[in-house]
């Protein structure tokens, strides 16, 4: 039996429910011994998002998984997050944000007392204690924490700077972003911190895979049928979508599945191109890179898409493995 894939999950766990669905996918795959979740990075400085991650980990009997939170004491007023706050306010007209309700319903003394790492310190700790070229980073939120990692200097954790550490330890970064071939207009993740996204995409020193798919089908509608009220993933989807038996786009779930299992049998990797994020906010395009100098690739879904949908539904509705 092959060794489990070692994954660090990077998420905002805030503006959409598919972040929670993706984490559920990873936990289900961990039950099958296909993956080991080394840690979860929350890439927005929102404490409730980190606590929500802890609640999900606890539901799957994995309270020991460390959670790192990006720190910024000026989040509520910072110009850096002005667009993020504005988009979040606009989205709230059609969706209900779930973190507060989930914390109120599922918190316990253990969860409330949980210590959070600072995001970059946790990244550096996990990478420095891993084998070379062994880590898959699954990034389904902003790329802010990853830029901070690349910018990080040597410290008491590792004598390597961030870029050197990533180059030595990370096998692949798979990032969910609307980077469709041959060109696209970013809609959320990368757009919310375009400066960080441009830096990470252009300076990433190992393989980089863009996962732009997700609007092809909805997932999550079976959570209300197959899983109990005690499942926080079910409640997150029902709160966010304002009712039971509703599905949501599948961007992050596809990203998580690919990060562990690779492209087969549902996806195809397209190589020999490089993605460019332009100075104008939100615009990106692909250019030929026949020698694969930059090791960029993007994913497309193989038909029939219903098979991928079923695989994802089965994973996010899987009961936790008893310990």
* Strand-pair category, 218-219 with 35-42: unpaired
Yes or no: say if 15 and 85 are a contact pair by the CB < 8 Å rule: no
Q: d(Cα 54, Cα 111) in Å, to the nearest integer? A: 7
Angle CA 215–15–248, to nearest 5: 30
- Give me the percent of the chain exceeding a pLDDT of 70: 100
CA distances from 53 to 24, 46, 62, 99, 148 (A): 10, 11, 11, 9, 21
pLDDT of 112 over the 90 cut: no
- Give me the percent of the chain exceeding a pLDDT of 90: 88
Q: d(Cα 114, Cα 52) in Å, to the nearest integer? A: 12
The enclosing H or E element of 187 equals: none
Yes or no: say if 247 and 16 are a contact pair by the CB < 8 Å rule: no
Reported as a single tens digit per residue, the pLDDT across 129-163 is 999 999 999 999 999 999 999 999 999 999 999 99
pLDDT at 225: 97
DSSP 3-state of 297:
strand
pLDDT at 77: 87
Reported as a single tens digit per residue, the pLDDT across 12-71 is 999 999 999 999 999 999 999 999 999 999 999 999 999 999 999 999 999 999 999 999
Query: Mean of the per-residue pLDDT values for the chain?
Result: 95
Q: Check residue 237 and report its DSSP letter.
A: H
pTM, rounded to two decimals: 0.97
pLDDT category of residue 95 using cuts at 50, 70 and 90: very high
Yes or no: say if 322 and 61 are a contact pair by the CB < 8 Å rule: yes
User: Where are the strands (E) in 84-160, listed by range?
Assistant: 117-118, 135-139
For the chain, the C-alpha Rg in angstroms (whole number) is 18
pLDDT at 73: 78
Angle between helix 194-203 and helix 144-151 axes, rounded to 10 deg: 50
pLDDT at 111: 74
Domains annotated for the chain, with CATH where assigned, are: 5-316 (3.90.245.10)
Q: Residue 231, exposed/middle/buried by CB under 10 A (0-12, 13-18, 19+)?
A: buried
Mean predicted confidence (pLDDT) in 206-231: 97
By C-alpha distance, which of 233, 238, 242, 212 is closest to 140? 212
Q: d(Cα 109, Cα 322) in Å, to the nearest integer? A: 21
Yes or no: say if 266 and 35 are a contact pair by the CB < 8 Å rule: no
Least confident of 37-41, 84-88, 198-202, 256-260: 84-88
pLDDT of 241 over the 80 cut: yes
The enclosing H or E element of 142 equals: none
pLDDT at 88: 87
Dig out the tokens for 211 from the structure: 């996962």
The enclosing H or E element of 40 equals: strand 35-42
pLDDT at 78: 86
Dig out the tokens for 59 from the structure: 């539901």
């Amino acid at each position: 039996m092959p060794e489990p894939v070692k994954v660090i999950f990077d998420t905002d766990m805030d503006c959409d429910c598919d972040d929670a669905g993706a984490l559920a996918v990873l936990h289900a795959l961990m039950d099958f011994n296909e993956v080991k979740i080394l840690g979860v990075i929350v890439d927005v400085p929102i404490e409730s998002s980190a606590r929500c991650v802890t609640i999900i980990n606890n539901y799957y009997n994995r309270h020991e998984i460390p959670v790192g939170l990006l720190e910024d004491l000026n989040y509520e007023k910072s110009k850096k997050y002005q667009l993020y706050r504005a988009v979040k306010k606009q989205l709230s007209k059609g969706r209900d944000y779930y973190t507060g309700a989930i914390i109120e319903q599922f918190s316990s003394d253990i969860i409330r007392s949980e210590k959070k790492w600072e995001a970059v310190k946790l990244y550096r700790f996990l990478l420095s204690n891993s084998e070379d070229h062994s880590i898959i980073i699954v990034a389904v939120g902003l790329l802010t924490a990853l830029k901070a990692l690349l910018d990080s200097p040597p410290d008491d954790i590792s004598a390597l700077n961030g870029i050197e550490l990533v180059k030595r330890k990370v096998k692949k970064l798979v990032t969910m972003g609307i980077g469709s071939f041959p060109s696209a207009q970013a809609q959320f993740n990368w757009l919310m911190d375009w400066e960080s996204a441009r830096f990470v995409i252009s300076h990433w020193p190992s393989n980089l895979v863009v996962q732009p798919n997700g609007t092809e089908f909805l997932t999550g509608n079976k959570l209300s049928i197959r899983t109990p009220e005690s499942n926080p993933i079910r409640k997150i989807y029902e709160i966010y979508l304002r009712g039971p038996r509703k599905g949501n786009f599948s961007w992050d779930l596809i990203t998580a599945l690919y990060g562990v299992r690779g492209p087969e049998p549902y996806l195809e990797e397209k190589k020999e191109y490089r993605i460019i994020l332009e100075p104008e906010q939100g615009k990106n395009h692909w250019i030929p890179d026949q020698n694969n100098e930059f090791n960029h690739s993007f994913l497309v879904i193989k038909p029939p898409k219903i098979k991928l949908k079923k695989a994802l539904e089965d994973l996010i509705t899987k009961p936790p493995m008893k310990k």
